[in-house]
Amino acid sequence: MSRRNPFDEIERMFERMNRQLGELSEGSGMPAPTGGGGSGPQTVSMDVAEQDEEYVVTADLPGYEKKNIDLSISERTLRVSAEREDSTDESNDDGTYLRRERRRQSVSRAITLPEEVEEEESNAVYNNGVLTITLPKRDRSSDSRSIDIS
């Protein structure tokens, strides 16, 4: 029998609040609550699909290089973060910038998966700005063991 995480409901509530605040800010023209307009961290858009034997997480990370993406998983929490920094040189090939808005940008996101996965067998592919993470579900039959009766 698996133990229930008492913080699952709180995590779901925070995710709901973050989504609702993001939707509210999109319609108002205000910056997103996750730092959506400046140099602070922003959130990563993710889809999580459950298949028979695995979860497939798809994250949009356009403009990032693979070497600047950090991906980790611990127990049921998947963390994705990425950072990019444009050159700070104040001139370009054609002259001096009159306005410069593309600077340093970082994004991050942590999600809780519905159940534990096989961390060692997980893999990720980054292609054309899309990160696809395949997380095989943990075989629950291997978690049980016999108990000797004395």
pLDDT category at 70 given cuts 50, 70, 90 is: very high
C-alpha pair distances (Å), 75 with each of 32, 72, 117, 118, 119? 29, 10, 8, 9, 8
| pLDDT tens digit sequence for 72-112 | 998 888 999 999 876 555 555 666 777 666 667 888 888 88
Q: How confident is the model over 32-52, as a mean pLDDT?
A: 67
Domains of the chain, residue spans: 8-87+102-141
Amino acid at 44: V
Nearest to 81 by CA among 60, 102, 108: 108
| pLDDT tens digit sequence for 48-61 | 999 989 999 999 99
CATH topology of domain 8-87+102-141: Immunoglobulin-like (2.60.40)
Choose the weakest-confidence range: 94-103, 109-118, 135-144.
94-103
Separation between Cα atoms, residue 93 and residue 122, nearest integer Å: 43
In the predicted model, what is the mean pLDDT of the chain? 77
pLDDT category at 128 given cuts 50, 70, 90 is: very high
